[in-house]
Amino acid sequence: MDFNIIKWDKQSGLVPVVVQDYINKEVLMQAYVNEEALQRTINTGYAHYYSRSRNKLWKKGETSGNVQRVLKILIDCDCDSILYIVDQTGFACHTGNKSCFYRMIWGN
């Protein structure tokens, strides 16, 4: 993949990543990657992200065991957002919920 098409400069070298379950298409979480995190994801097959609060790379599930095996990586039409299609082990959210999107603020 040519990383040069990715617009790293829009958010100080970070690009948002939406994470979706490959079986039921549920959106599990949203995080950020820098170029190194994306390369590690591609090299290992497991999701790596960049923590803005800790200013470092992290592998999803490194301590919890709730890893994300990445099956496919897509980029949006503007080349400034990425989608990981994953096989999620356990839950994605640090709260213990399957998805980070478990609180409704509007709708039925």
pLDDT in tens, 85-103: 999 999 999 999 999 999 9
Q: Could you identify the residue written with the tokens 């923590």?
A: 51
Please report which confidence band the pLDDT of residue 1 belongs to, taking 50, 70 and 90 as the band edges. Answer: low
Lowest mean pLDDT across 7-16, 24-33, 40-49, 53-62: 7-16
Dihedral (CA of 5, 67, 98, 85) sign: positive
Phi, psi dihedral angles at 81 (to 5 degrees)? -155, 140
Cα gap 94→5, rounded to integer Å: 32
**CA–CA gap between residue 67 and residue 90 (Å, rounded):** 8
Question: At 108, is the pLDDT very low, low, confident or very high (cuts 50, 70, 90)?
Answer: confident
Among 74, 80, 44, residue whose Cα is nearest residue 59? 44
Confidence band (pLDDT; 50, 70, 90) for 29? Answer: very high
Which residue, among 80, 63, 83, has the nearest Cα to 71 in the 3D structure? 83
Model pLDDT for residues 46-81, shown as the tens digit of each residue = 999 999 999 999 999 999 999 999 999 999 999 999
Q: So where are the chain's domains?
A: 11-88
| Res 12: pLDDT | 87
Whether 35 contacts 13, CB under 8 Å: yes
Q: Where are the beta strands (DSSP E) in 22-88?
A: 27-33, 48-51, 56-59, 68-75, 82-88
Q: Yes or no: is domain 11-88 CATH 3.50.40.10?
A: no
